[in-house]
Structure 1
Amino acid sequence: MKKWLVFASMLALALVIAACGANSNNSKESSGAANNGAGSEASASESEVIITAKDWEFDQEEYRIKAGETVDLTLKSAGGIHGVRILKTDYNISNNKTVAVTFDTPGTYDMICSVPCGAGHGKMKAKLIVE
């Protein structure tokens, strides 16, 4: 019984570590809140914000965009595989993808890494401030 528990623990650890592996997919995806990042649609964005993720942190603690403006949010992974989920919205950004977002009302939104990426995964947080 003890051997199976150790085996299962090692397998779980290997899966978590594998989630932080490199990925060379550099495609672009645009999405609105209504389709939860699943589809692709053309959009005329007014600006772009690049979010860089690496080793359990984002490159900035906060990102700022203007209310009513369509902005391309791009997630670049400098190490491992990551994702960004904007809480209290349907916006999800996959590893090395771009999503067009529009927020009509000013406010602050929490962003988290949406891909389990290792021991520091829970610390991967940032804020999106809509002005």
Structure 2
Amino acid sequence: MKKIVSHVLGFIFVVLLAACGGNEANDAQNENVETDETVTIKALNWHFDEEEYVVPSGETTIELINESGNHGIIIREANGGEDVVLNKQGSTIATLAPGEYDIICSIPCGSGHADMTATLVVT
């Protein structure tokens, strides 16, 4: 009898562990999802590599590469009315509606920080 109870408890424990770990695996997969469209924004000391970036509307990967200095970006109200924020080099996925959006540097980077802006045009 003790052996059966032990097996049943072991089975329940395994099922609970599998259920708890399932979400973590799905979250990890969602972080690695790539979209058809990618916009790469390169940040240098006090400017971006382009004044204007153009992408089609829809789900887009936004990638920030710091070529010099330490920068982050905020794209005002671009993701369904919410800001897109990258406070360090990396990427995120956003759903972009047609329009023009301001890109600003989010990390004070020196004397030219206030002028570090660009535009994202979504067609």
Matched, 1:84 2:73: yes
Q: Distance in 2 between matches of 1:44 and 1:51?
A: 17
Contact (CA 8 Å) 1:53, 1:77: kept in 2 or not?
A: yes
| TM-score, normalised via structure 2 length | 0.68
- 1:61 maps to 51
What are the ranges of 5 or more consecutive residues in structure 2 without an aligned counterpart?
A: 1-26
CA RMSD, 1 decimal: 1.7
Which residue in 1 is equivalent to 2:105?
Answer: 113
Percent of counterpart pairs with the same letter?
36
**Residue 99 (str. 1) matches residue 92 (str. 2):** yes
Show the counterpart of 1:125.
117
Which of the two has greater helix per residue?
A: 2
Give the SS at the match of 1:45.
Answer: coil
State the one-letter code of the partner of 1:53.
A
Point out the structure with the larger strand share: 2
Instruction: State the Cα distance separating 1:82 from its structure 2 match.
Output: 0.2
Match of 1:74 in 2: 63
Q: TM-score, normalised by structure 1?
A: 0.64
Aligned match of 1:17? none
**Which has the higher Rg, Structure 1 or Structure 2?**
2
